[in-house]
Structure 1
Amino acid sequence: MGGSIHVPFGVFSPLRGEYLDLLAHAPSTGFQTAFDIGTGSGVLAAILAKQGIPSVIGTDTNPRAVACARANIARLGFEKQVEIRETDLFPEGFADLIVCNPPWLPAKPTSAVESALYDPESAMLAAFLRDAPNI
């Protein structure tokens, strides 16, 4: 990617690279806009920008994640292509491509770090699946 992703305490760290490799090798030609929902560290938004997508918007509800993603995007030099917003799920507008690495365990988090892993009652996933067709 031309640099590294820095992840402070309180933001989920993408330890497994399989999904990153999958996205990095997926065809991205023809996409003009992309949303990275639950951007966390901003790693997926950075990969999309590196692939040449001109406009990427990453969203997250965690202020620490938003600050982390913004810092990583700036460090990697993608500020002109990527905007990081603190918001719940989808920003206004439409996108040609939507990516999301949601919290996947249906349990209640007990710490800031666990919030990136646990999705009580699968609420975030349900909202994502409900609202995605409208984007």
Structure 2
Amino acid sequence: MDPIITVPMLVSALTKALDSAAGEAGKKAWSALSTLLTKHRRQTPNEADAAAAPLLRPDPRDIEPFAQHLATLAVADPALAQSLHDWAAETARTFGSSENTVNTLSGTVHGNVVQAGNISGSVSFS
């Protein structure tokens, strides 16, 4: 199965990395993304050059278009999609969860489903 990478996942990860860019963890997240895009650029030089531009001077206003561009590149390149998915997951683990929770449910469900970010207390179904 191909990895799923969505714009909201990327926006969340990019925002967390940008918000923490002054700290060591944020620097590592940006460095990992830069390395990932550099590797991709070597494989597809023309289209990936534009993808790396926001890494030079990150700006919160660039997050959404940057995420859109990365997601578009990922659709055409399963290896890039996997790398971005792994990067976003690692960033989420490093910086913890936020209000940008993304829940995905596919297929047929027989029974109850709870989709949530953080649950404090019990969940029950009647």
TM-score normalised to structure 1 length: 0.28
Q: Identify the structure with the greater strand proportion.
A: 1
Larger Rg: 2
Normalization by structure 2: what TM-score?
Answer: 0.30
